[in-house]
């Protein structure tokens, strides 16, 4: 995969990620309460050593359900201690009297709701990350951390989007045109193609110096509710951009009305032309245009560096769809213990 560009310079400090499962914790926050009635049973599940799809398979077996009747909002790391919500479609069935404990997971809470849980439904994720073998935390690193908290971070798709061998893009181009794939496999491969194009657009904009200020022709996304709009650039919009109320967006490639104009559109067109094999594949698969913020904002961020233990403990909240490893890449050279 091509190397990414970061707005505050490359990190000068290294650290070990996921030395043990408890070093990486994430809790999914819905942002709403289940209604208490309906055909869907919402479960808050804590898991360790399981991917989300492996979790769904085990829950389906334990609750005697077809896996297609189980909904989820976000994919959570396998090598971590995570909490996430699932929805089980159980019309006419009473919820279990006791919270279930399965192999590798346990149900912490359950409540009925009238809708299935869909991908991207949750509002944010809360992270607690313990990095090991961080030999020093120099001024440069502290300045980068401060910049991330004050100005946001480049909203790249994380490396996990592209597979353990970082070859999902290659596999997608080989497999999507002719093979019959499961729905989940096809979704993963299509997402990797669109994510790759988005990352290249974002890297290009940072390389060109278009990070601190928006461009004329940009489409903007509101912080919090992810609605988009386009307006003529003026001082009011620039101020909202600086206040982190809005951020510029780029396309997740697909068919649909392109709202970008001017230089933002030209940058995207250049990237799409460079990766025409990917765009052709996405066209053949009927991908639909979406927009994603180029910048995202960290909330409730704190860190504690222990020089004696050579460890760095970070706590932060991120909007749904953002990667904590992407945040860390702005100031730490990550090394995965796995």
pLDDT band at 79 (very low <50, low <70, confident <90, very high): confident
Angle at 187 between CA 186 and CA 190, to 5 degrees: 85
Q: Is 77 part of the annotated catalytic residue set?
A: yes
Whole-model pTM: value is 0.91
In sequence order, what DSSP letters do the residues of 230-293 get, joined into one string? -----HHHHHHHHTTSEEEEEEE--BS-----HHHHHHHHHHHHHTHHHHHHHHHTT-B-EEEE
The region, left, alpha or beta by phi > 0 then psi within -120 to 50, assigned to residue 58 is: alpha
Q: How many CB atoms lie within 10 A of CB 280?
A: 12
Predicted local confidence at residue 178, as pLDDT: 80
Residues in Cβ contact with 23 at an 8 Å cutoff, skipping those fewer than 6 apart: 17, 129, 130, 131, 132
189-240 tens-digit pLDDT: 999 999 999 999 999 999 999 999 999 999 999 998 889 999 999 999 999 9
3-state per-residue secondary structure call for 168-237? HHHHHHHHCCCCCCCHHHHHHHHHHHHHHHHHHHHHHHHHCCCCCCCCCCCCEEECCCCCEECCCCCHHH
Determine the Cα–Cα distance for residues 169 and 177; give it in Å rounded to an integer: 13
For 28-41, b/e burial (b = at least 16 CB within 10 A) is bebeeebeeebbbb
Predicted local confidence at residue 160, as pLDDT: 86
Q: Which domains are present in the chain?
A: 32-121 (3.30.2350.20), 154-296 (3.30.2340.10)
Predicted local confidence at residue 335, as pLDDT: 84
Predicted local confidence at residue 163, as pLDDT: 86
pLDDT surpassing 80 at residue 21: no
Q: How many CB atoms lie within 10 A of CB 136?
A: 11
Angle at 122 between CA 120 and CA 128, to 5 degrees: 110
Predicted local confidence at residue 190, as pLDDT: 95
Residue of 208, 130, 207, 143 whose CA lies nearest to 12: 143
Predicted local confidence at residue 103, as pLDDT: 87
Predicted local confidence at residue 89, as pLDDT: 96
Residue of 23, 62, 66, 77 marked active site: 77
Predicted local confidence at residue 180, as pLDDT: 86
115-167 tens-digit pLDDT: 999 998 899 999 999 999 999 999 999 999 999 999 999 999 998 889 888 89
């Amino acid at each position: 995969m091509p190397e990414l560009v970061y707005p505050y310079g490359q990190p000068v400090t290294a650290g070990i990620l996921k030395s043990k499962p408890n070093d990486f914790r994430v809790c999914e926050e819905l942002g709403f309460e289940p209604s208490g009635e309906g055909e869907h049973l919402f479960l808050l599940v804590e898991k360790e050593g399981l991917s989300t799809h492996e979790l769904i398979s085990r829950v389906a077996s334990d609750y005697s359900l077809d896996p297609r009747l189980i909904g989820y909002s976000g994919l959570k790391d396998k090598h971590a201690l995570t909490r996430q919500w699932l929805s089980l479609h159980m019309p006419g069935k009473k919820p279990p009297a006791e919270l279930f404990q399965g192999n590798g997971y346990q149900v912490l809470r359950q409540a009925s709701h009238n809708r299935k849980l869909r991908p991207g439904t949750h509002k944010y994720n809360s992270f607690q990350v313990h990095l090991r073998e961080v030999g020093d935390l120099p001024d440069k690193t502290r300045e980068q951390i401060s910049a991330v908290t004050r100005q946001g971070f480049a909203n790249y798709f994380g490396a996990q989007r592209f597979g353990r061998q970082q070859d999902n893009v290659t596999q997608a181009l080989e497999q999507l045109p002719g093979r019959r794939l499961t729905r989940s496999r096809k979704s993963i491969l299509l997402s990797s193609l669109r994510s790759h194009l988005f990352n290249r657009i974002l890297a290009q904009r940072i390389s060109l110096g278009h990070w601190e200020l928006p461009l004329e022709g940009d489409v903007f996304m509101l912080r919090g509710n992810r609605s988009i709009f386009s307006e003529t650039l003026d001082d009011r919009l620039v101020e909202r951009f600086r206040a982190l109320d809005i951020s510029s967006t780029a396309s997740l490639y697909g068919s649909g009305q392109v709202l970008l104009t001017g230089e933002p559109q030209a940058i995207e067109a250049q990237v799409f032309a460079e990766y025409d094999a990917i765009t052709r594949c996405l066209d053949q698969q009927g991908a639909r245009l979406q927009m994603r913020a180029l910048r995202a904002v960290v909330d409730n961020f704190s860190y504690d560096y222990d020089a004696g233990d050579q460890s760095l403990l970070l706590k932060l909240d991120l909007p749904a769809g953002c990667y904590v490893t992407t945040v860390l890449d702005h100031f730490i050279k990550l090394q995965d213990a796995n």
